């Protein structure tokens, strides 16, 4: 076992047409002779962004711990972001232990959908549900990229066939080779917008809790109690989306996101500036009448169309984007828009 697989420990050499990837820094592999020594004196050794759940829990480790870490690296190579990203280490640890593996195609929809299944297996919470070795993960990823079927061996068979370090090198090389855009290859088609007038992250208004959890996986139950009656909701750490059930406890009528990777077709989303919003939409952007301070000097949200709201907490940057069940035009006050303003204002801001 390597025990600290991460992008910083993978070196790439050669030309774009003939690259080789090397796994390096075997310090933990040499120094930690037993699984129990990884948490000696209750201290943690390793990189938390790529750590398998069993290592967090202090359970025995085997090569499938490296499979999990390599799966995190593979996801980052394909999407540009780590599978679980949170502000605090506690939230990140919780995500590794509980959150469902994210879908590659949510952030990189031009990639084959089969990669979603590969990542789901590599990042399974239980080692028995993962690939038996890094070699199996390599084979599955290559098969997904080329459209071939890949069969997983039964657990525990031929465990001696592949040395984990060599498989990690092969996997990294395969990913790098796929990501290289050769001069004679056409550019990939633009990714579909993650934020539209009808959906955020592929989730539309009016769905049930079961529909949203089926799409996004693990969730945290919410209840906004600032004004009675409380507004129930569910929050998904990945892909940083929340759904609220204000008007109907069974059907979502407000969807929010603070995911800075989510953008409209015009390229605007959380962490964009208000200036970028106005440049992108021009006269279609209107201050939400519910967000204007009495003196007119402060605007807390802007609306595009009848139901897409861009909230700001600092008057410069979009903190949250909200989709709500709009009825009136965006320059008129409405209950739906008022509640969308409130929910977006208290939502987790983009960072």
Supply the CATH number for residue 73's domain: 1.10.510.10
Neighbours of 330 (CB within 10 A): 21
Q: Which two tokens stand for residue 97?
A: 């232990």
Assess whether 39 and 168 both reside in one domain: yes
Residue 321 is predicted with a pLDDT of 97
Q: Quick one: DSSP state of residue 240?
A: T
Assess whether 229 and 167 both reside in one domain: no
Assess whether 301 and 174 both reside in one domain: no
- Asked if the structure places residue 25 within a domain, the reply is yes
What are the pLDDT digits (tens) for 15-27?
877 888 888 877 6
Residue 30 is predicted with a pLDDT of 47
Assess whether 31 and 155 both reside in one domain: yes
Comparing 331 with 316, the larger pLDDT belongs to 316
Domain span at 306 = 199-346
- Asked if the structure places residue 184 within a domain, the reply is no
Q: What radius of gyration, in Å, describes the C-alpha atoms of the chain?
A: 23
- The pLDDT of 259-287, averaged and rounded, is 94
Residue 22 is predicted with a pLDDT of 87
pLDDT at 159 over 80: no
pLDDT level of residue 217 (50, 70, 90 thresholds):
confident
Assess whether 172 and 213 both reside in one domain: no
pLDDT level of residue 41 (50, 70, 90 thresholds):
very low
- The pLDDT of 222-236, averaged and rounded, is 88
In whole numbers, what is the pLDDT of the chain averaged over residues? 82
Assess whether 117 and 68 both reside in one domain: yes
Q: In total, how many domains does the chain have?
A: 2
Highest mean pLDDT among 133-137, 318-322, 323-327: 318-322
What are the pLDDT digits (tens) for 77-119?
888 888 988 878 888 888 899 888 888 888 788 888 899 999 9
- Asked if the structure places residue 32 within a domain, the reply is yes
pLDDT at 226 over 90: no
Give percent of the chain with pLDDT exceeding 90: 42
pLDDT at 6 over 50: yes
pLDDT at 195 over 60: yes
Assess whether 173 and 218 both reside in one domain: no
pLDDT at 297 over 70: yes
- Asked if the structure places residue 301 within a domain, the reply is yes
Chain centre to alpha carbon of residue 37: 32
Residue 85 is predicted with a pLDDT of 83
- The pLDDT of 44-68, averaged and rounded, is 85
Comparing 75 with 31, the larger pLDDT belongs to 75
pLDDT at 126 over 70: yes
Residue 170 is predicted with a pLDDT of 56
Q: Establish whether the linkage from the previous residue to 153 is cis, with ω within 30° of 0.
A: no
- DSSP 3-state assignment of 65? helix
Assess whether 218 and 268 both reside in one domain: yes
Assess whether 38 and 122 both reside in one domain: yes
Assess whether 142 and 216 both reside in one domain: no
Q: Among 158-162, 248-252, 273-277, whose mean pLDDT is lowest?
A: 158-162
Long-range contacts made by residues 215-224, C-beta under 8 angstroms, separation at least 24? Answer: 216/100, 216/241, 217/99, 217/100, 217/101, 218/98, 218/99, 218/100, 224/342, 224/343, 224/346
Q: Which two tokens stand for residue 291?
A: 């967000």
- As a whole number of angstroms, the longest Cα–Cα distance in the chain is 73
Assess whether 292 and 246 both reside in one domain: yes
Residue 23 is predicted with a pLDDT of 86
> Which of 145, 179, 213 is the endpoint of a domain?
179
Residue 8 is predicted with a pLDDT of 86
pLDDT at 285 over 60: yes
Residue 47 is predicted with a pLDDT of 74
> Which of 151, 179, 207 is the endpoint of a domain?
179
- Asked if the structure places residue 55 within a domain, the reply is yes
CATH number assigned to the domain comprising residue 320: 2.60.460
pLDDT at 44 over 70: no
Q: Among 39-48, 271-280, 315-324, whose mean pLDDT is lowest?
A: 39-48
Residue 172 is predicted with a pLDDT of 53
């Amino acid at each position: 076992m390597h025990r600290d697989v991460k992008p910083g420990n993978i070196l790439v050499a050669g030309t774009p047409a003939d690259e080789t990837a090397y796994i390096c820094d075997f310090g933990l592999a040499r120094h930690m002779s037993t699984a129990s020594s990884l948490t000696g004196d209750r201290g943690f050794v390793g990189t938390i962004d790529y750590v398998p759940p069993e290592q967090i829990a202090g359970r025995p480790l085997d090569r499938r711990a490296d499979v999990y870490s390599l799966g995190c690296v593979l996801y980052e190579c394909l999407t540009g972001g780590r599978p679980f990203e949170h502000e605090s280490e506690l939230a990140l640890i919780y995500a590794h232990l509980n959150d469902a593996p994210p879908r590659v195609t949510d952030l990189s929809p031009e990639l084959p959908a089969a990669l979603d299944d590969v990542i789901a297996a590599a990042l399974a919470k239980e080692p028995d549900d993962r690939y038996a070795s890094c070699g199996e993960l390599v084979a599955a990823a290559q098969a997904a990229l080329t459209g071939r079927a890949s069969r997983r061996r039964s657990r525990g068979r031929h465990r001696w066939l592949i040395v984990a370090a060599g498989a990690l090198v092969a996997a990294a090389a395969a990913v790098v080779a796929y990501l290289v855009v050769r001069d004679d290859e056409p550019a990939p088609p633009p990714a579909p917008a993650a934020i539209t007038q009808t959906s955020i992250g592929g989730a539309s208004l009016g769905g049930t809790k079961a529909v949203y959890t089926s799409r996004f996986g693990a969730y945290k139950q919410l209840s906004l109690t600032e004004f009675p009656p409380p507004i129930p909701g569910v929050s998904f750490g990945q892909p940083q989306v929340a759904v609220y059930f204000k008007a109907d406890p069974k059907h979502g009528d407000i969807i929010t996101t603070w995911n800075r990777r989510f953008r409209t077709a015009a390229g605007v989303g959380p962490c964009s500036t208000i200036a970028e919003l106005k440049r992108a939409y021009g006269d279609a952007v209107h201050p939400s009448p519910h967000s204007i301070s009495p003196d007119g000097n402060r605007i807390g949200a802007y609306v595009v169309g009848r139901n897409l709201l861009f909230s700001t907490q600092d008057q410069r940057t979009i903190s949250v984007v909200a989709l709500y069940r709009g009825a009136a035009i965006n320059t008129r006050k409405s209950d739906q828009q008022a509640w969308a303003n409130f929910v977006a204002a208290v939502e987790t801001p983009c960072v």
